[in-house]
Homo-oligomer: A and B are copies of this chain.
Amino acid sequence: MQLTSPGTTLGVVGGGQLGRMLGEAATPLGIDLVVSDPTPDAPASPVAREQVVGEFDDEETVRAVAEKSDYLTFEIELTDPDVLERVSEETGTPVHPHPDTLRTIQDKYVQKERLSEAGVPVPAYRKVDTADQLRDALEDLGYPAMLKAREGGYDGRGNVPVESPEDVEAAMEQIAGPAMVEEFLDFERELAVMGCLGDGERDTFPVTETIHREEILRESVSPPRASDDVRERAREVAHDVLDVMDGRGVFGIELFETTDGEVLLNEIAPRPHNSGHWTIEGCHTSQFEQHARAVTGLPLGTTERRQPTVSANILGDVDGRQQARLAGVEQAFETDRLGVHWYGKREVYRLRKMGHLTLSGAEPVEDLLAEIRAVREALRFE
């Protein structure tokens, strides 16, 4: 194991905020990034040695990245596992996590099948291809339920609630493709665990509570307001999920804590995840440093939490698309122990993730949460 100059080059399909934070974390380790993104001057571009401009699933683009890199990874699921696998074989550049894992995760139905076969607890679900199948499924699962496109959905896109039999036809038409339906859970709270697979080692970051609205993450809280038993159970479920994953890297594992204290898997992201951004300030090793270490074959860092920490997303609050210009930031910069993360996206639109804030301090986490929300309250796009 050596440090060299130029150092290890990590190729990343996707150059959004995850790529940007990966670059910020990788440089100190002597790891340089080459990213690809269809948007020139993407968020990761200022901290990458180079950006290749091209679509996430474009083979020529992915090959160009792989050829410049010692290892290949991705920060977005919209890439094509077949392309990744082919390019990796042709160029000899290892890709992590394994494209099979991406295949499994990309199809929400296959994901649920693989996980429940492996003994991971999941909400009740059915594959549905027609309105009749959906109606039949809901006789078992009951109303309301959530109809989900099997592929391509994120941040709530591709999800349609089905409240009653009258909604069935319209819901199927809205998805307009392969779908699955899932029972509505009566959950106490949502949790997340960042899992890490290294070279012959595995670990999990401390459990995080995640707070969503309109199915988009608003805040993360660590430690979560859950019992020790629930935290331990969440950790166990995360380890079971990691058993199903193939290859190295960080995985965002989203969970439900039900009202009767059960922990069920919601979804997995085969990459660093919004619910783990708090680790940048909150842990000795951030999820981004951990991903860079894992993919390039370095030992994993400790996942120990340094301090109770909360994060809050900065989301677009405007109608239409406009130049990104965030006012009211004084309080953020004046608040002690508060980290500001701006993603450098050129345009803002409603609910677009534009940045996030992180606050570390003493418990109770309610106080940290109230303080960070007050800071975010002062922000507005102009």
Residues of chain B lying within 8 A (CB to CB) of residue A340? 3, 28-30
Among B7, B281, B306, B346, the residue within 8 A (CB) of A307 is B306
Contact A330 B20 (CB under 8 A): no
What would be 22 A-B contacts, judged by CB atoms less than 8 Å apart? A2-B382, A3-B324, A5-B345, A6-B344, A6-B346, A7-B344, A23-B27, A23-B47, A24-B24, A24-B28, A28-B342, A29-B342, A30-B355, A46-B49, A284-B336, A299-B334, A301-B336, A302-B336, A302-B337, A304-B336, A306-B306, A306-B307
Residues of chain B lying within 8 A (CB to CB) of residue A154? none
Docked complex Cα distance between A360 and B307 (Å) = 13
Number of interface residues of A (CB under 8 A): 53
Residues of chain B lying within 8 A (CB to CB) of residue A281? 284
Contact B306 A346 (CB under 8 A): no
Contact A293 B333 (CB under 8 A): yes
Instruction: Given the known inter-chain contacts A28-B24, A333-B298, A344-B30, please indicate yes or no for A3 contacting B47, CB distance below 8 A.
Output: no
Residues of chain B lying within 8 A (CB to CB) of residue A135? none
Please give me the residue from chain B that is nearest to A339 by CB atom: B28
Please give me the residue from chain B that is nearest to A324 by CB atom: B5
CB distance from A316 to the nearest CB of B (A): 12
Q: Is A325 an interface residue (CB 8 A)?
A: yes
